[in-house]
Homo-oligomer: A and B are copies of this chain.
Amino acid sequence: MEVKLPTFDSVFSIDCVIFGFEAGELKILLIERNEEPFKDWLALPGYIVEQDESIDDAAERILYELTGLRDLHMQQFHTFGEVKRHPQGRVITVAYYALIRINGQKEVKPVTHYAKSAFWHPVNDLPKLAFDHSEIFNTGFNKIRRRLNYQPIAFELLPEKFTLTQLQSLYEAVLNKKLDKRNFRKKMLSYGFLKELDEKQKGVSYRAAKLYKFDRRKYAKIFQNELNLVQ
């Protein structure tokens, strides 16, 4: 059976690459589509921008409708504008990313019928995605990999209180390489934006680690003058 689809001209859409970190693994949010085209395929959460909302607002709304997640700090990273990227017509999409702590998060679940389900999937083993979403994901992953080195995005993926080992394993997951424990700690602590708490990890069956907090205010002070690569 062939399905006749409407076509459209000049539509903007938003697609979201939402990273989460859980059990030492980096994951992203996928949805199962419930609409043609690419019905039943896996895809990034994404939909069409309304006339009367900014693209930033649209990104928040769309993510909420498709996954139930709200109040993430979403950031635009690239716009995809190939003519044939959408089979039904001309759709230019602005891609956003966000980072989020998975732990303690209520289950993700679509609020609209455009998606059948939403779930976390490890980045290392992604299936083929609808549209050009695999390309969008790759572009986004490269972006955050690079940004990890000069922006405090790691802390958005961790619980508010975290151990240095957790922080290190996040860096290792994103950069995909092993780091030296002593050097990593020395360097992170030397920045001065980690606040040591009077509290320890609980519920582990081995020596509990100290907990730390990211001190956003100190970070901002330290890095207000940040352009420094040449001299």
Residues of A in contact with B (beta carbons under 8 Å apart) = 9-12, 49, 51-56, 58, 76, 78-79, 81-83, 90, 92, 94, 145-146, 148-150, 171, 175, 179-180, 183-184, 187, 227-231
Count of chain copies: 2
A-B contact pairs, 29 of them (CB 8 A): A9-B10, A9-B51, A10-B12, A12-B81, A52-B83, A54-B81, A54-B83, A56-B81, A58-B81, A76-B78, A76-B79, A79-B79, A92-B92, A92-B94, A145-B227, A146-B227, A148-B230, A149-B227, A149-B228, A149-B229, A149-B230, A150-B229, A171-B230, A175-B227, A179-B231, A180-B231, A184-B230, A184-B231, A187-B230
A36 to B: closest C-beta gap in Å: 21
Q: Which residues of B contact A228 (CB under 8 A)?
A: 149
Nearest B residue to A83, CB-CB:
B54
- The complex places the Cα of A12 from the Cα of B81 at a distance, in Å, of 10
A87 to B: closest C-beta gap in Å: 15
Q: Which residues of B contact A230 (CB under 8 A)?
A: 148-149, 171, 175, 179, 184, 187
Question: B55, B171, B227: which contacts A92 (Cβ < 8 A)?
Answer: B55
- The complex places the Cα of A56 from the Cα of B78 at a distance, in Å, of 12
Q: Which residues of B contact A11 (CB under 8 A)?
A: 10
A159 to B: closest C-beta gap in Å: 21
Known contacts A49-B81, A81-B94; 13 further A-B pairs (Cβ under 8 A): A9-B51, A10-B12, A10-B51, A49-B92, A52-B83, A54-B82, A79-B94, A145-B227, A149-B227, A149-B228, A175-B230, A184-B230, A187-B231
A78 to B: closest C-beta gap in Å: 7
Q: Which residues of B contact A179 (CB under 8 A)?
A: 230-231
A65 to B: closest C-beta gap in Å: 18
Q: Which residues of B contact A56 (CB under 8 A)?
A: 81
Nearest B residue to A76, CB-CB:
B79
Interface centre among A10, A58, A183 (most CB of B within 10 A): A10
Nearest B residue to A145, CB-CB:
B227
- The complex places the Cα of A210 from the Cα of B35 at a distance, in Å, of 64
